[in-house]
């Protein structure tokens, strides 16, 4: 009897397995047939599971377009298909297609993020696909980082931080610039966001967790000890625990005279809970990351480029010294009008924008190809900025190329430093103020010499694998 039941069970299991296998083959056949019916861009899908990921993540010791992109553009053109970490996607190095895709947010396309980003940035990535929630989050952030605060308070705060930090670095035999600038920018931004004083807090090294986060941001999502992604998740866990503790304390505390972003979060949770606590903490995490990593990387790269280009450095020094000499008191603060007049300073410190991702909500036909519904489009802004048709000798550091070009508000197909369309960078103006203010005090008050390091690599994000160590000397 028991044997009969066992045989019956095995027969049923076999039939069910065969049925599922039949459905799988039918789906795969339909999937292949649909691929054949659509005119996909040329390209290769690489190895099973891995796709072409291994080649994509290879570091290169230059700021040119990644060989991964260059080789495929030469072979297939500016639009091609690939597979990265098991995800079918279409890569666009085409300015017109990039512009169309980015302007179609929440229409033909929606925002999408790699799995590694989803795991380290949390729920905020899921919710930002909603237009209404994105606008609500934007209004929250602007209560602290809006134009009025930027002009009246943030410009002053950044000046104080630049002066005090540069003075302390001048006493050292060597300063690793990327780490030092990260710490400085964190101190300013964290004060505005969470009233956090890094110089007195027992958690004064909190900003360093963002280094681990940044290093694993675009890594292969392998969560085992020793990998960059594992360290990235560990850094996120430590930071989120600290932010949760701060939020709990703020809920019980009396209202402060000045408002920071943590106060905005508390008001939101008490009065109009459109966003929950988890999401609000993720927003805090993301704002801190954006200020620490992206701005400090751009600043360090600017100093490296200026070090290697005496002509550009001289013009930068002349512009900023001219501003200082026009003041009655050279030690007085930079005014908003002075900041806005720093045209060459702005041109010498353009950001290197990260990859952008969008997912098709429907079949999209453009450039003679079809982007199938559900497929991801990867956009490489660096390809637009290094386009030889638009910018002669694009791989050469040349701040003068921007001299007669006004930075487009909201970006353009040839200028994607701060994104384009609805998703343009909310902190763009704050980042520009931080960079210009630091460079002003840096070049007017100090000279420097390189001690070691300074190599830059793309992997695909910009990094300084051996640091950038400099010795600062006060000008007499």
In tens, the pLDDT along 250-303 reads 888 877 767 788 888 888 888 766 677 887 888 888 777 777 778 888 899 999
pLDDT digits (tens, 9 = 90+) for 217-229: 666 667 788 887 7
Q: Is the pLDDT of residue 23 over 90?
A: no
Q: Is the pLDDT of residue 425 over 60?
A: yes
Cα-based distances in Å from 68 to 93, 100, 414: 12, 23, 21
Q: Is the pLDDT of residue 29 over 90?
A: no
Q: Is the pLDDT of residue 109 over 70?
A: yes
Percent of the chain with pLDDT over 90: 24
Q: Is the pLDDT of residue 216 over 50?
A: yes
Q: What are the residues whose beta carbons fall under 8 Å from the beta carbon of 219, sequence distance 6 or more?
A: 57, 116, 227, 228, 229, 232
Model confidence at 60, pLDDT cuts 50, 70, 90, reads: confident
What mean pLDDT do residues 83-112 have? 85
What CA–CA distance (Å, rounded) separates 50 from 59?
17
Sign of the C-alpha dihedral computed for residues 245, 247, 251 and 254 taken in this order:
positive
pLDDT digits (tens, 9 = 90+) for 406-420: 655 555 666 666 666
Phi, psi of 449 (to 5 degrees): -135, 150
What CA–CA distance (Å, rounded) separates 276 from 98?
33
Chain-wide mean pLDDT for the chain? 79
Beta-sheet pairing, 87-92 with 376-379: parallel
Of 169-178, 384-393, 455-464, the range with the highest mean pLDDT is: 169-178
Helices (H) and strands (E) in the chain, counts: 20, 12
Measure the N-to-C terminal CA separation of the chain; round to a whole number of Å.
100
377/20: higher pLDDT: 377
Model confidence at 9, pLDDT cuts 50, 70, 90, reads: very low
pLDDT at 22: 42
Model confidence at 232, pLDDT cuts 50, 70, 90, reads: confident
pLDDT at 219: 64
- The rounded radius of gyration (Å) of the Cα atoms in the chain is 25
Q: Is the pLDDT of residue 15 over 50?
A: no
Residue 425 marked as a ligand binder: yes
pLDDT at 377: 92
Q: Is the pLDDT of residue 14 over 50?
A: no
Are the C-beta atoms of 67 and 60 separated by less than 8 Å? yes
Say how many C-beta atoms besides its own lie within 10 A of residue 35's C-beta. 13
What CA–CA distance (Å, rounded) separates 156 from 148?
12
What CA–CA distance (Å, rounded) separates 283 from 265?
10
Q: Is the pLDDT of residue 421 over 50?
A: yes
Q: Is the pLDDT of residue 42 over 90?
A: yes
451/396: higher pLDDT: 451
What mean pLDDT do residues 116-135 have? 64
pLDDT at 122: 65
What mean pLDDT do residues 355-381 have? 88
């Amino acid at each position: 009897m028991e044997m009969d039941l066992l045989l019956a069970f095995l027969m049923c299991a076999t039939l069910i397995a065969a049925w599922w296998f039949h459905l799988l083959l039918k789906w795969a056949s339909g999937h292949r047939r649909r691929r054949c019916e659509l005119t996909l861009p040329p390209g290769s899908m690489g190895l099973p599971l891995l796709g072409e990921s291994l080649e994509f993540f290879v570091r290169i010791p230059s700021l040119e377009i990644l060989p991964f992109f260059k080789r495929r553009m030469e072979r297939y053109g500016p639009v091609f298909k690939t597979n990265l970490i098991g995800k079918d996607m279409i890569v666009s190095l085409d300015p017109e297609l990039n512009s169309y895709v980015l302007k179609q947010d929440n229409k033909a396309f929606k925002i999408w993020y790699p799995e590694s980003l989803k795991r380290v940035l949390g729920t905020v990535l899921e919710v930002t696909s909603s237009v209404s929630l994105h606008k609500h989050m934007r209004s929250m952030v602007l209560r602290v980082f809006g134009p009025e605060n930027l002009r009246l308070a943030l410009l002053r705060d950044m000046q104080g931080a630049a002066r005090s930090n540069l003075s302390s670095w001048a006493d050292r035999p060597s300063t690793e610039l990327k780490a030092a600038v990260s710490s400085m920018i964190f101190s300013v931004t964290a004060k505005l966001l969470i009233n956090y004083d890094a110089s007195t807090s027992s958690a004064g090294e909190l900003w360093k967790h963002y280094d681990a986060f940044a290093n694993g941001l675009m890594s292969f999502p392998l969560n085992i000890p020793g990998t960059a992604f594992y360290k990235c998740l560990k850094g996120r866990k430590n930071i989120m625990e600290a932010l949760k503790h701060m939020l709990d304390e703020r809920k019980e505390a009396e209202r402060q005279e000045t408002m920071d972003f943590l106060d905005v979060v508390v008001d939101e949770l008490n009065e109009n809970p459109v966003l929950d606590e988890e999401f609000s903490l993720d927003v805090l995490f993301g704002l801190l990351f954006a200020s620490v990593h992206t701005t400090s990387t751009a600043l360090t790269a600017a100093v490296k480029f200026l070090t290697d280009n005496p002509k550009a450095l001289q013009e930068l020094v002349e512009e900023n010294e001219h501003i200082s000499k026009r003041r009655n008191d050279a030690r007085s603060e930079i005014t908003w009008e002075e900041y806005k007049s720093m045209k060459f300073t702005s041109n010498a410190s353009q950001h290197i924008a990260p990859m952008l991702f969008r997912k098709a909500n429907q079949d999209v036909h453009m450039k003679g190809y079809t982007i199938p519904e559900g497929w991801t489009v990867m956009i490489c802004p660096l390809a637009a900025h290094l386009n030889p048709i638009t910018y002669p000798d694009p791989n050469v550091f040349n701040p003068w190329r921007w001299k007669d070009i006004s930075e487009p508000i909201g970006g353009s197909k040839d200028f994607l430093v701060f994104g384009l369309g609805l998703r343009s960078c909310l902190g763009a103006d704050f980042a520009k103020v931080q960079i210009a203010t630091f460079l002003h005090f840096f070049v007017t008050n100090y000279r420097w010499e390189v001690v070691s390091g300074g190599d830059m690599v793309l992997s695909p994000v910009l990094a300084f694998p051996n640091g950038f160590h400099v010795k600062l000397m006060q000008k007499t």
